[in-house]
Structure 1
């Protein structure tokens, strides 16, 4: 792969055309409570056993409740469940190279979350209002929900990250990243949807974000022309 520092010397595509990279990077369970009753009368010869039995039932119910709330990744027969919402690291709130990196890595975690859960509120709150790329991500997540379908795989992650904190005339700061995505397949109640397949990939892209009102907002990624993958 072309080194990110070398790629930084290239001329970048104007911010208005940063819309192309949309395909690469797209339940809460119920919990039970135990209501085991302990004997209130010590007169019964079986009171000790009843108490012990009740404790076992309560313990078992609590364990079952904990298990039902555990995160479950999607499988070919079931969508993801109980996926926790990513928490923004404190570094992502800094206006610095370190802050931009933390924010960008966090953004892609939120994008993964929205793809698994179809909950896009957090995703859109991290985007600039007119980001066509973010709207495409939202549409993808909405389609999963509307079609009662779900993705298996397709998680995006960032390898290398590089930024010189340079900004465009419009005020967007760009960074260069190594963007990796696992193989993705789409399933619904009828089985795998062939049209939803996406191979695993590793590409060099630049990403644009803007620091406004004391926080970062994400615009879009864009392929780096001529970069080796």
Structure 2
């Protein structure tokens, strides 16, 4: 698993002539997902690229989403208002206190919350106009393992967001997210199941918006969203059984 994580990286390129592309490679060799903006066409697009395809005339890119800049920014503006209100309601409905959190013996990791976390775990190569990021091959993973601790009052002394875990039978399981806001004078805990419901509702809202203004260019993306929303917890084996 660690070797697979090291293969992940992000690459961002921009030119005035072509626009920008953001590549997010998958764990499959020489395959990646791209979010891009074409300056000539004034269009956002999302596509998969398979660099293993070398046959002349064969398509290496599979476009699943394309939208004009005007419609894309209009969508972002409308969705932003809905998202901001929804996330505020989610947090404010999840108020708790330190006593309840300690009662459940929640565990946090102080290293992931440290200021030098990104520098120690990510290698950012600056070459040309690209910005590829990779996991450092010589990263000491004990820095993560050695910095797990039970939640204490001192961990909530300023505005922050913490990831909460629980230790059970030799395994750490994700429990949710702890929010501390000084101006709200409170501690808020969003269980992972509640957060997953929120994320699904956001995806449904996005799907409904795109479906209300359907275009041929967004059809593959809408179909993909529909299948994932219809079967949100499918694993790869279940997906294959449905496709066969």
Normalising by the residue count of structure 2, what TM-score does the alignment of the two structures yield? 0.20
Return the structure number with greater relative CO, CA threshold 8 A, min gap 6: 1
Structure ranking higher in strand proportion: 2
Structure having the higher helix fraction is 2
Q: Which has the larger radius of gyration?
A: 1
